[in-house]
Structure 1
């Protein structure tokens, strides 16, 4: 039994974003409205909600700067109209003629932007099936971890490939986040191999809820994403999951479960800081504890 009645009804919006921002906005807005009608107070959309485009020239012809982006304006109006916390997992936005950012937004019930987060870790990989991605060729990485507040509950903001870097999530949990968010567009091969494992691990390591709205299916640009939007509880149990088609995933989060998990396994309190000494010495890694 949890020791508090503090709860938050949440929804994840699963999408199959295309190359046309207007169509993507309409699709996302319809699903956000559906989630709000189901009682969700916090709604999260996936990574690159506004468009998915691999062709660099076409990408930059389509992108807008934040101040003029139609998707952001529409989602701010929508959050205000529905009086919800709308977490736009990320939008592709132009910051210069040759550089973009992959930027998430937490929008409050008044339509104001409560937090912005630029994806820190760039997805630069070559997969065994021949797929190759170089996110850093178009996107500028972020440099700051970001936590925000939803109805008094600390929320940590991350995006997709960030999931593979657990230090980021530990820092957010230590800063007070009880919910960790991972809006994503995982490829199908990496999703099949690692999606569930990594999300459950981040929840277990930090005694936190993990919310991950996903892109799913074969997109207009030819890319195939894994889907399976997940809500994971602080003990690492999957409590809600999507498939591969667009739709919503709902759950009620009980913050008492965070307290219970962190009391049972108090790893946040037991963490120690180390630095490597003499890393070049063959066969040995010498560690020294650093003060917290």
Structure 2
């Protein structure tokens, strides 16, 4: 296992596209800015611009619009698969809507340079997602990046403590939190919850968010990507290792010190992981 992991969080603009090559150029520009990072994290629903490739897209309802987005899954897989191989980077390509029986799955894809792809189907949908005929996945997901265990917590999943508690118990040291939020309040819910998950599980989180300025029929989304850790000795006092500017294209990078994280779990001022396990019987008795 590596002692450090260099990561990047991409703040990606969902916008009208002139063609498939326009999307590929957006991705390339972000990855150019993330050069040097071993793991690059793009945000949730970063491919919503695909819906603008259809004629008459402005007049479509949400379900029809997202059906068009799902039609471009092959393009999405091709762009990111090629990028991971060419750049020798591990890339979480945010999430993309994939057609499934009965609707769409919101699927995060982690692309490895050797061609492997790890999929995570979002298990907890924000209520608005159901308007798009989205359906929920049934499995939590972890993966390995250079011997470091990462766990997937897509947007609303980060707001549910049980999700990241289960991931941490499976060994996750870094949470991958791609998000897309319609309001500033929604953004802060995800951001504050990701920060809380870092404290209660003594982990890092890479929170990458999508922004747009009203890509009708979609609503505006709000973003400020960040890389977060515990609030304890050796980490920034506020737990923020890096932070993007609000609602502009941006890429931020940080070096995650895994040895420091393990030391924090052994001797940190707030031994939350140990104390949660130590008082598990008490919590269970109040269930």
Normalization by structure 1: what TM-score?
0.82
Query: Could you give the per-residue CA deviations for residues 255-284 of structure 1, whole angstroms, max 9, x where no partner exists?
Result: 1221132122333233216787xxxxxxxx
2:103 aligns with 99
Alignment of 1:38-53 (within 5 A): 39-51=36-48
Q: 2:68 aligns with which of 58, 61, 64?
A: 61
Query: Could you give the per-residue CA deviations for residues 156-215 of structure 1, whole angstroms, max 9, x where no partner exists?
Result: 012111111011101101110100111000222324643432121011011000101101
Alignment of 1:68-79 (within 5 A): 69-79=74-84
The structure 1 segments of at least 4 consecutive aligned residues displaced by more than 4 Å after TM superposition are: 273-276
Larger CA deviation: 234-243 vs 15-24: 15-24
Q: Find the aligned partners of 2:157 and 2:77 in 1 and give their Cα distance.
A: 22
2:273 aligns with 268
Q: 2:244 aligns with which of 235, 242, 245?
A: 242
2:54 aligns with none
Answer whether contact 1:65 1:95 (CA < 8 A) is retained. no
Answer whether contact 2:12 2:249 (CA < 8 A) is retained. yes
Normalization by structure 2: what TM-score?
0.83
Gaps of 5+ in 1: 125-132, 277-285
Q: Find the aligned partners of 1:193 and 1:229 in 2 and give their Cα distance.
A: 11
Gaps of 5+ in 2: 52-60, 232-237
Q: Find the aligned partners of 2:137 and 2:187 in 1 and give their Cα distance.
A: 27
Query: 1:217: Cα distance to partner?
Result: 4.0
Residues 206 and 88 of structure 1: is their aligned pair in 2 closer, same or farther, counting only changes over 3 Å? same
Q: Residue 48 of structure 2 aligns to a residue in which SS?
A: coil
1:127 aligns with none
Answer whether contact 1:123 1:136 (CA < 8 A) is retained. no
1:142 aligns with 137
Q: Find the aligned partners of 1:161 and 1:152 in 2 and give their Cα distance.
A: 27
Structure in which a larger fraction of residues adopt helix: 2
Q: Residue 74 of structure 1 aligns to a residue in which SS?
A: helix
Q: Find the aligned partners of 1:274 and 1:102 in 2 and give their Cα distance.
A: 36
The reply to whether residue 194 of structure 1 matches residue 198 of structure 2 is no
1:204 aligns with 199
Query: 1:136: Cα distance to partner?
Result: 5.8
Q: Residue 218 of structure 1 aligns to a residue in which SS?
A: coil
Q: Residue 87 of structure 1 aligns to a residue in which SS?
A: strand
Query: 1:138: Cα distance to partner?
Result: 1.4
Q: Find the aligned partners of 1:61 and 1:105 in 2 and give their Cα distance.
A: 19
